[in-house]
Amino acid sequence: MAEERKRRKREEEEAEEWERRKRGRRKRRRRRGGEEDPVDVLGEEVMGRVMELLDARSVARCTAVSRAWRGVAAADRLWAPKCAELMAGKAHIPRLTMIPTASKLSTYSMTIADGKRTRITKEDLCDHDWEFRFTIAAPEYWRNLDPSWKHTGPPMRRYFHPDGYHSADPHDAVWGGHECTYTIITSFAGNGCIRDHYVRINRWPPMKVSRKEDWSWELSNHLYRYNSIPDTDKKGCTGPLFPLNDHNQSEKKCWFSNVNGVWCGMNQPDEIRTIARQPDMWARDT
């Protein structure tokens, strides 16, 4: 009985709401002088041309104005050139831009978010090649072995492997030929913010992680630094498919696993299910 009453009440409310909207719309149409919805009057095509003139942030805001505005402002046609513009001149293109089902708008916003990410993942380390240089604080003996200091050749290179090993090119003057492993360490404060985040090779001094304007990475300590080498032409792109947030990890309930001496973080299992639905996303160049 109560159920029946509730249902009837809801229907009444819906009808009222519908009536109210209809009235509102009619009123709006009659009113002249700056009070008309340009999407109604100009149509989607012309409004799309207007939005082409706007910067990305303004168009993003247009998506939150009304349903009609959203229909225009979220169009791939508007966002495809903005995506291209965003990627131009960057060192790395995030792998998430390869998600085939994503709209250009969501690709754009995910890419922006990923560009701001300061937390490095194993994918970032393994996907990029790295230039290795000693700093001025390094002992002269080591600096003399570094071609970038002596201007005798290109900087030395270092590689991170998914199995946790770390390597250099053959004939590398500094490389001792010993076994070498790497670890990403992330610790969190009680409020979910990252307290400490660094990459460590063997038991050597930790390297703090930073990121540049062009989305390239730098790992550095007082003795040496690693710089990711631009690789925008790499097929399948680089980095994690689903990046980790920099904050509020405790809220998102991240789980971690230690794989071959490397701490890997993953977001919620439902994200993993999403990956599983797109099996081709696992395909990776070797």
Partner 1 sequence: MATGSGAAAAAADAEEKESGSRMITLTSNEGKAFVVTEASARQSATIRSMVDDGGCVDKGFPLPNVDSKTLARVIQYCDEHGNKEAHTVDERAALAKFDKDFIAELDADKAFLYDVTMAANYLHIQGLFALTTQCIADTIKGKTPEEIRTAFGIEYDLTAQDEEEIKEEDTHA
Q: Contact positions toward partner 1, by CB under 8 A?
A: 21, 24-25, 28, 31-38, 41-42, 46, 49-51, 53-55, 57-58, 60-67, 69-70, 105-106, 109-110, 112-113, 116
- Given a contact cutoff of 8 angstroms between Cβ atoms, the answer to whether 146 and 174 are in contact is yes
Residue 200 burial class via C-beta count within 10 angstroms: exposed 0-12, middle 13-18, buried 19 and up: middle
- Given a contact cutoff of 8 angstroms between Cβ atoms, the answer to whether 143 and 178 are in contact is no
Nearest-angstrom CA–CA distance, 228 and 246: 20
Q: Which lies closer to partner 1 via its Cβ, residue 21 or residue 195?
A: 21
Nearest-angstrom CA–CA distance, 48 and 76: 11
Q: Which lies closer to partner 1 via its Cβ, residue 61 or residue 212?
A: 61
Q: How far is the CB of 276 from partner 1 (least distance, A)?
A: 20
Q: Which lies closer to partner 1 via its Cβ, residue 65 or residue 185?
A: 65
Mark 248-272 as b/e (b = at least 16 C-beta within 10 Å).
ebeeeebeeeeeeebebbbbeeeee
Q: How far is the CB of 109 from partner 1 (least distance, A)?
A: 4
Q: Which lies closer to partner 1 via its Cβ, residue 258 or residue 278?
A: 278
Nearest-angstrom CA–CA distance, 121 and 243: 8
Q: How far is the CB of 86 from partner 1 (least distance, A)?
A: 10
Q: Which lies closer to partner 1 via its Cβ, residue 258 or residue 268?
A: 268
Q: How far is the CB of 21 from partner 1 (least distance, A)?
A: 7
Q: How far is the CB of 245 from partner 1 (least distance, A)?
A: 10
